[in-house]
Amino acid sequence: MSNEDRTQIIRAILFEDWDPVGFGPLLPADEYDAYIPGIMQLLEKHCTTEQLETHLVKIEKERFGAAQASGKASVAAKNLVASWSASR
């Protein structure tokens, strides 16, 4: 699978399962693209679901000013790790 294919899968999971902004279809398609390289880097290093969840929660708090985690990071992290494993 190409990096572009993986990018598309990650983008879809971020929109469908994570979406910390909460505007879903109202957002531009590239809204979360800035976070994809960091996520890919973690996945390439065979991170655990928990490590990826921690990364997503950190983004929620630092970049979006969330006082607490949305609770969506866990599902997104599980799906990201599973899709990455399946694409190998």
Q: 36 or 87, which is more confident?
A: 36
pLDDT for the residue 22: 80
Cβ pair 20, 41 in contact under 8 A: no
Hey, what are 27's tokens?
A: 């957002």
DSSP code of residue 20: T
Q: pLDDT of 22-81, one tens digit each? A: 887 888 988 999 999 999 999 999 999 999 999 999 998 888 776 676 789 999 999 999
pLDDT for the residue 75: 95
Hey, what are 43's tokens?
A: 């996945």
Rounded to an integer, what is the distance from CA 85 to the centroid of its chain? 15
Whether 1 has a pLDDT exceeding 90, the answer reads: no
